Amino acid sequence: LALQTSLHQAIAQQQFVLHYQPQIETGSGRLVGVEVLVRWQHPERGLVPPNKFIPIAEESDLIIRLGEWILQEACRQLSLWHAGGLELRVAVNLSARQLRSKNLLRQVKDVVLKHNLQPGQLELEITESVAMEDADNTLRMLAQLRELGVELAIDDFGTGYSSLSHLKLMPLHRLKIDRSFVKDIETDPDDAAICAATISLAHNLGLSVVAEGVETEAQFAFLGNLGCECAQGFLFSKPLPAAELEAWIRARG
């Protein structure tokens, strides 16, 4: 409850900061995108991770305001990067309540216009469980988002349960393999089979794949051999503030 009260203030006082985690193309090793992960710079508690406050914000319309700030800030940063010649895609997580919000379409439309983005440079991630929870409404919303030109990804794929008949109707670009399947991919044949099947399913549906939680070169190579297009994880970098990401890019050469 204490957190909920200060969360109201935090939104008013903009105590949030975005971190960005690189997404690397397996074939080329190039940086092709970043996932936005929000943190709360709490005046007393320090940097609070999202799993401590997103669920609280999600209990009310606070998530709508926070989500709008995150979209605005991510797109502002994206337009700065593009102006500086850095071409990449920015992926923003959407919560269940945001996806059900009447404001979402307008928010996305406005932010893309305001920052003069190509809408395809913005990707929105929703988790598999949120997508399948209320599949008919989700489908309608995703179709409208797609009309704006933004790209759509299903996060944590394989951890909820997907209706393949719904999945096939969704206008998606990407599936993100959950890191629980990546962790033991080299030693657990079941995990390897799940990753292979997910990649093959995605490709047959015309979707691209990002693997999460890639921590070793061996996992990266394994996923590349399975045809997974992109990887994200501590092997490359943890999520970083914008300036540190820029330094990371420069150091990589």
Confirm or reject binding of residue 35 to Na ion (CB under 5 A): no
Per CB under 6 A, the list member of 79, 95, 138, 162 interacting with ligand G is 95
Per CB under 5 A, the list member of 128, 155, 191, 229 interacting with Na ion is 155
Confirm or reject binding of residue 97 to ligand G (CB under 6 A): no
CB 79 within 8 Å of CB 117? yes
DSSP run (H or E) holding 218: helix 217-225
CB 38 within 8 Å of CB 71? no
Residue with smaller CB distance to Na ion, 123 or 155: 155
- Please choose, out of 6-14, 140-148, 198-206, 232-240, the segment that lies near ligand G by the rule CB under 6 A: 232-240
Size of the site for ligand G (CB under 6 A): 21
- Please choose, out of 23-31, 90-98, 111-119, 203-211, the segment that lies near ligand G by the rule CB under 6 A: 90-98
First to last CA, the chain: 46
Q: Number of helices and strands (H, E) in the chain?
A: 12, 10
DSSP run (H or E) holding 237: none
Residue, CB closest to Na ion: 156
CB 174 within 8 Å of CB 128? no
Confirm or reject binding of residue 239 to ligand G (CB under 6 A): yes
Interaction mask 183-222, ligand G, x per CB under 6 A: -----------------------------xxxx-------
Confirm or reject binding of residue 54 to ligand G (CB under 6 A): yes
Q: Which two tokens stand for residue 194?
A: 């799940």
In terms of phi and psi (left: phi > 0; alpha: psi -120 to 50; beta: otherwise), the region of 100 is alpha
Per CB under 6 A, the list member of 51, 165, 187, 204 interacting with ligand G is 51
The DSSP code for 26 is: T
Q: What is the CA radius of gyration of the chain?
A: 18
Per CB under 5 A, the list member of 156, 173, 202, 233 interacting with Na ion is 156
- Dihedral, 143, 144, 150, 156 alpha carbons, nearest 10: -50
Q: Which residues bind ligand G (CB under 6 A)?
A: 21, 36-38, 49-51, 54, 70, 93-95, 155, 179, 212-215, 233-234, 239
Q: Which residues bind Na ion (CB under 5 A)?
A: 155-156, 212
